[in-house]
Amino acid sequence: MKQFDVPPFYRSPLISAIKKKRKEQDKMKKDFSPTLLDFGPVQVLLARHFGFCYGVENAIDIAFRTVEENPGKRIFLLSEMIHNPQVNADLVAHGIRFLQDTHAHQLIPFDSISGDDIVLIPAFGTTLEIESLLRQKGIPTEKYNTTCPFVEKVWNRSEVIAKKEYTIIIHGKPTHEETRATFSHAAAGAPAVVVKDMAEALRLAAYIKGEKNQDDFTREFNGQYTAGFEVSKDLQQIGVVNQTTMLASDTQAIADYLKQVVVSRTGKAESFADTRDTLCYATLDNQTAVQGMLETEADLAIVVGGYNSSNTSHLVELCEEKLPTYYISHAEKIISAEEIQHYNFHTREEVISRDYLPAGKPVKMLITSGASCPDAMVEAVINRVTSFFPGALDAGTLIARFQ
C-alpha cells in the first residue's frame, strides 16, 4: 500500500512500534485481539486497528505538501479536511482558510475566490455543484482533491447501478459532508433517498410495499430525496450504498432487510442490486477490532477522536454496550485521577465524570481511536493515564518490547 508523508508530530514511537510488530505477526489481519501494554498498576488493552486510515493520510499528505509547494498563494479548504480538531487547527496555523463549516454554512463567500487561488477538496469529497462552481472560476480541482478513494468507490458503484435503472438508497447521516457528496453524485444518474438508520429503513419499506402514498413520503423524507422522486415507480428496483463511516453491521442489516422487502414485493431477485463492495476496509477493521477488544475483561474504555467524527462515535457506541466508556478529544480532557471530561454524543454535550478509575489493581482499560485521530494523541492519553499510577512503567520501556 502507498506510503504517505505525514508530519512526524502526528506519529508516536510507541504506537508505530506496536503496529509494525502486529503487522509482522499477522500479515493477513485475521487476529483482532488487542495488544496488552502492561504498565504494572495499570494495564492498557490497545485495539488491533485504530487511527489514521489510508484516506486520511492521503488527505493530510496532499494538504501539507500543497502549503509547502505554494508559498505566498491563498489556500482554502472547502470545509474541515477531516473530523479532528487538532489536524484542522494545524492546517489553519499553516495558513489554510475554510470556506464552509462542517454543516455547509458559508464562512468565506465563493465570490471572494478566483482562479489564482487553491481550493482543497476534503477527504469526504464534495458535491457536483461545488465542483462545477470551482471549475467555472478557473480553479483546478484534480490536483487538490483529497477525496478518499473508498468514498469514490461508493460513487462509482452508485453510477454503475444507476445505469441499470436502480434507485439508490444511501445509508448515512443526511447532514454529513460525505453523505451530501454521495447524494449529489448518485442523484446525477438516478433517483436517490437517504436513510439514516434502521428505523428510517422500516419507514421506507412501507412505501416499497405500497402502504403509504407520495404525500406521506414528501413529508416524512423531506430534504432526503432527489427532485421528482415518485414512490410508485422509483422503489421497484433499488440498491443500497453507505456513508463509509457508518457501522458496517447496520448498513448490512438495512441492505438485507430492504432486499427482502423489495424482492417480496416484486417477486424478482434482480430487483435488488448487490452493493456489498462499498464497505470501507478501515471502518470495518476498526469496528471489528473494537469487537475483538471487548472480548477481554476490562474496567472501562477510552475512545479518542473528534466529537463530530462519525466513525469515532460508532466505536463509542460499540464500547458502550459492554462497559463504561469515555469519549475524549485529547489527553487534556483527563483532568485528574478522579475526574474526566468527556463527550456524550447522544446529547451532544461534554460532561464531567468523577471516580471513573476503579480502586482495584491492576486497572484494566481499553483504548482505541477514530480514523482521523493521530497516533501521537493516543500515546498522550496513555501517558496521561499512567502518570496517575506511582510505579507505572514509562512508554519508552515498553517500546523495546515491540522492537
Q: What digits encode the pLDDT tens for the residues 166-197?
A: 999 999 999 999 999 999 999 999 999 999 99
Q: What digits encode the pLDDT tens for the residues 365-387?
A: 999 999 999 999 999 999 999 99
pLDDT bracket for residue 402 (50, 70, 90): confident
pLDDT recorded at residue 216: 96
Q: Is residue 150 part of a domain?
A: no
Q: Is residue 316 part of a domain?
A: yes
The stretch 296-311 carries a mean pLDDT of 96
For 215, the grid coordinates are 404525500
pLDDT recorded at residue 15: 96
Residues of the chain above pLDDT 70, percent: 100
Phi, psi of 97 (to 5 degrees): -115, 145
**Domain boundary, last residue among 257, 278, 299:** 278
Q: What digits encode the pLDDT tens for the residues 189-205?
A: 999 999 999 999 999 99
Residues of the chain above pLDDT 90, percent: 89
Any bridge partners for residue 194, and if so which?
Answer: 170
Q: Is residue 148 part of a domain?
A: no
pLDDT bracket for residue 220 (50, 70, 90): very high
- Report the sign of the C-alpha dihedral through residues 310, 312, 313, 319, in that order: positive
For 364, the grid coordinates are 484494566
Mean pLDDT lowest among 60-74, 79-93, 298-312, 388-402: 388-402
Q: Is residue 354 part of a domain?
A: yes
Whether residues 242 and 337 share a domain: the answer is no
Q: Is residue 35 part of a domain?
A: yes
Most confident range, picked from 82-86, 275-279, 288-292? 288-292
On the question of pLDDT at 277 being above 70, the answer is: no
pLDDT recorded at residue 397: 86
pLDDT recorded at residue 1: 62
Whether residues 295 and 385 share a domain: the answer is yes
Whether residues 176 and 103 share a domain: the answer is no
Whether residues 213 and 288 share a domain: the answer is no
pLDDT recorded at residue 243: 94
For 354, the grid coordinates are 468523577
pLDDT recorded at residue 373: 97
Return the closest-CA partner of residue 173 out of 375, 53, 348: 348
pTM above 0.85, yes or no: yes
Whether residues 114 and 181 share a domain: the answer is no
pLDDT recorded at residue 210: 95
**Domain boundary, last residue among 229, 246, 278:** 278
Q: What digits encode the pLDDT tens for the residues 27-64?
A: 998 999 999 999 999 999 999 999 999 999 999 999 99
Q: What digits encode the pLDDT tens for the residues 314-350?
A: 999 999 999 999 999 999 999 999 999 999 999 999 9
pLDDT recorded at residue 281: 84
Instruction: Return d(Cα 141, Cα 120) in angstroms, integer.
Output: 8
Region at 305 (left for phi over 0; alpha for psi -120 to 50; beta for the rest): left
Whether residues 181 and 259 share a domain: the answer is yes
Domain that holds residue 259: 163-278
Q: Are the C-beta atoms of 327 and 316 separated by less than 8 Å?
A: yes
Domain count, the chain: 3
Instruction: Return d(Cα 16, Cα 192) in angstroms, integer.
Output: 42
Instruction: Return d(Cα 170, Cα 165) in angstroms, integer.
Output: 16
Whether residues 196 and 258 share a domain: the answer is yes
Active site residues: 178
Q: Is residue 61 part of a domain?
A: yes
**CATH number of the structural domain spanning residue 66:** 3.40.50.11270
pLDDT recorded at residue 148: 94
Tell me the one-letter amino acid at 180: R
Whether residues 243 and 273 share a domain: the answer is yes
Give me the chain's average pLDDT, please: 95
Q: Are the C-beta atoms of 198 and 261 separated by less than 8 Å?
A: no
Whether residues 271 and 321 share a domain: the answer is no
Q: Is residue 342 part of a domain?
A: yes
Q: Tell me how far the alpha carbon of residue 177 is from its chain's centroid.
A: 11
Instruction: Return d(Cα 384, Cα 249) in angstroms, integer.
Output: 33
Whether residues 337 and 394 share a domain: the answer is yes
Containing H/E element for 248? helix 248-266
pLDDT bracket for residue 400 (50, 70, 90): confident
Containing H/E element for 383? helix 375-386
**CATH number of the structural domain spanning residue 336:** 3.40.1010.20
Whether residues 311 and 331 share a domain: the answer is yes
Whether residues 292 and 373 share a domain: the answer is yes
Mean pLDDT lowest among 104-108, 252-256, 271-275: 271-275
Q: Is residue 1 part of a domain?
A: no
Count how many Cα atoms sit within 13 Å of the Cα of residue 9 in the half-sphere of its side chain: 4
Instruction: Return d(Cα 51, Cα 6) in angstroms, integer.
Output: 13
pLDDT recorded at residue 396: 82
**Domain boundary, last residue among 278, 293, 312:** 278
Tell me the one-letter amino acid at 282: A
